[in-house]
Chain A
Amino acid sequence: MRFLTGLGIAFFSLYLILAVHALSVSDKNKAKEIEAISSHVKDTKLSVSFKSNEYQRFVYAK
């Protein structure tokens, strides 16, 4: 039981830290800045830099 209790506490603590991290990361700024750029460059695309087009097509199966 000691093992299970310890395991439970360990995971609880770990997930608590992750939850605090997730809540503290503010993405409002990020969303605003992305929207700002894309308001005058309307047709935005994912910025990728693959060695060749063939590799990009392989990854995204276009």
Chain B
Amino acid sequence: MRSKNFVEYAILLLFKDKNDHLFSFLIFSFIVFILSSTLFISDSLQEDLLNSIKSQPEIVVENTRAGRAYAMHDGFIYDISKITGVSNVEGIVDGYHYFAQKRLWFHIIGDATLAKDEMIIGQGVKNAMAELYYNEEFHFFTEERMIRLKINKIAPKSTTIISNDAVYLHPNTARAVLGMEMDEYSKLYVSVPNPNEVGNVSLKIVEIYPSAKATTKEDAISAVRHLYYYKGGIFMILYVIALVSFFILLKNQISLVYGEKKKEIAILRSLGFCIKDIIALKFIQNTVVSVSAYLLGVAMAYIYVFMFNAPYLRNIFLGSELENSISFTPVIDINLLFLIFLFGVVPFLAFVILPAWKIAISDMSEAVKS
């Protein structure tokens, strides 16, 4: 156990080289900040999305033609409902309407609980419409005509994660806006009471309709869980930034024991510091720097994401065409934070302590003579 005097002297020497240590401190804080912010945003969004897929149907069927989404008709519903294990098939309307004046796409969603001319819009849609003075009602321009609808309600702010770009309409109104026929559907919800039969049923659906896509509830949950895996281009870029910064940091760490610092170690050795003392000194100094930087990085990430709702970074995750006022609910993954600590602090310390040890065991008599 090192004496208080030793620890104080280690801190004294830390401040002597404060510029070098400050550089390491800032870079490491930045790396931890980036990684933690990404982690906090993705965990928070995933938590909300997992809440939203609780009512997800067992199978969602979408049709394609030439690789593009294509409507389905009653025949699909009839054929699929005949499959053993299927208890119900519900057709729904879902598509995108181009708001030409602002060059935006609105997500049109058919909601059977709404009245024929009722319309509920998301926060982002409301703001986009309001910019062109559509405050009370909105005009949908289709190939055939203009559809005028009153804005009845705005979706609650807390549901922004799924409703921001959405316009909820009665299915028939939605068909009119999207230019679909009255007997056409964009998606089919298939209910399969027995979870063990879901796989079989989805295979049978694709057998009957080879161009159809049958997504199970498990697939949907998995997609949410894997939303922010490294495969995403943006996350790759963020992690590359963190990695490059890390290498710059490690290089700086090594330089903390070479050049002038090498002589310093020799001087301390000549005054009676044994090899263990030198290592303890470097360990204390760099533990203070790395742990403080880590704590600061995580705290800044928390404040940035959960108090300020991650400006700029959230646009990377959610796009910025529509104004998005999502608020992130604090979700803390201790395991991953610990991993960041482990894979950050340990190399940080190793890249100083190992060279310091190497220098400490070398011949000090030549070093102190120069």
| Complex: A in contact with B (CB within 8 Å) | yes
List residues of A whose CB falls within 8 A of some B CB. Answer: 1, 3-4, 7, 11, 14-15, 18, 21-22, 25, 27, 29-31, 33-35, 37-51, 55-56, 58-61
Flag whether B21 is at the interface (Cβ < 8 A).
no
Chain B positions within 8 Å of A29 at CB level: 158
Question: Are B11 and A43 in contact (CB-based, < 8 A)?
Answer: no
Chain B positions within 8 Å of A55 at CB level: 319
Question: Are A50 and B7 in contact (CB-based, < 8 A)?
Answer: no
Flag whether B288 is at the interface (Cβ < 8 A).
yes
Chain B positions within 8 Å of A3 at CB level: 11
- Report the minimal beta-carbon distance from B23 to chain A, rounded to whole angstroms: 18
Flag whether B231 is at the interface (Cβ < 8 A).
yes
**What are 15 A-to-B residue pairs whose CB atoms are below 8 Å?**
A1-B4, A7-B288, A15-B299, A21-B306, A25-B306, A34-B48, A35-B55, A38-B53, A38-B56, A41-B111, A47-B163, A49-B165, A49-B321, A56-B319, A58-B233
Known: A3-B11, A21-B307, A49-B319. A42 touches B324 (CB 8 A): no
Flag whether B182 is at the interface (Cβ < 8 A).
no
Known: A7-B288, A21-B330, A49-B318. A43 touches B56 (CB 8 A): yes
Interface SS, A side: helix
Q: How many B residues, CB 8 Å from partner?
A: 66
Q: Which residue of chain B lies nearest to A3 when distances are taken between CB atoms in the complex?
A: B11
Q: Which of A15, A39, A46 has the most CB of B within 10 A?
A: A46
Known: A4-B288, A49-B164. A35 touches B54 (CB 8 A): yes
- Report the minimal beta-carbon distance from B122 to chain A, rounded to whole angstroms: 7
